[in-house]
Amino acid sequence: MSNTKPTAKTIAESRVELVHLMGPGQANGLGNVHGGVIMQMADEAGALAAMRHANSYVVTVVMDSMTFIEPILVGQIVRASAELTYVGRTSMEARVEVTAENPLTGARTRTNTAYLVYVAIDNLHRPQPVPPLVATTPDEQATMDEARERQEYRKAQRARDEAARAARSGSGPASR
């Protein structure tokens, strides 16, 4: 195994954009695009940004809440633009912005923003280290600082959930 430290990469190097024309197969009962289609697209875009950074396969470990600001209609062009905002040792946060475009007028609306966390995995599906992420502007540094706070919050939440699970399994009927 190599001992060389992975070379740091920029946010720009992780950027990807997925573009799809929404058809009737993606519609819900109201004729709007199904929310799950947009969630899948956001997950794919975020995963591609993470894979591009890590140069490895990744798994999704967290998808933060996703708010649908505007409905997306059949016949619109949907874009999911993803970039990394944070990396830990093996985990990476991606921000995904979703926009819908009317192909006849070119008018675009922002419909969602989602934050997802991925973990780079080796060929035995174990977490593996990823290259550091470097900020090239003060705005990018601010983005990374905010992302670090979100990830610290998630880790604290995970620790609370695990402690609650352990307490429940220790206080179940069998142990009384």
Ligand X SMILES: CC(C)(COP(=O)(O)OP(=O)(O)OC[C@H]1O[C@@H](n2cnc3c(N)ncnc32)[C@H](O)[C@@H]1OP(=O)(O)O)[C@@H](O)C(=O)NCCC(=O)NCCS
Applying CB under 6 A, the residues found at the interface with ligand X are 59-62, 88-91, 117, 119, 121, 127, 154-155, 158
Q: Closest distance between ligand X and the C-beta of residue 176, in Å?
A: 30
Minimal distance, residue 59 CB to ligand X, in Å: 4
Cα–Cα distances in Å, from 155 out to 35, 62, 109, 114, 121?
Answer: 27, 11, 33, 18, 19
> Do 94 and 84 touch, CB atoms closer than 8 A?
yes
Helix, strand or coil, per DSSP, at residue 68: coil
Alpha helices by DSSP H, listed for the chain, are 11-14, 35-54, 138-170
Closest CA to 83 of 116, 57, 56: 116
The residue number whose beta carbon is nearest to ligand X equals 88
Q: How far is the CB of 152 from ligand X (least distance, A)?
A: 9
Identify which of residues 89 and 108 has a Cβ nearer to ligand X in the complex: 89
Shortest Å distance, C-beta 126 to ligand X: 7
Residue among 57 and 68 whose Cβ is closer to ligand X: 57
By residue count, the chain amounts to 176
Residues 45, 119: Cα–Cα separation, whole Å: 15
Specify the amino acid at residue 21: L
Closer residue to ligand X in complex, CB, 72/82:
82
Q: Quick one: 19 or 59, whose CB is closer to ligand X?
A: 59
User: What tokens were used for 113?
Assistant: 């923003």
* R_g over Cα of the chain: 19
Residue 130 beta carbon to ligand X: minimum distance, rounded to whole angstroms: 8
When the beta carbons of 90 and 99 are compared against ligand X, the nearer one is 90
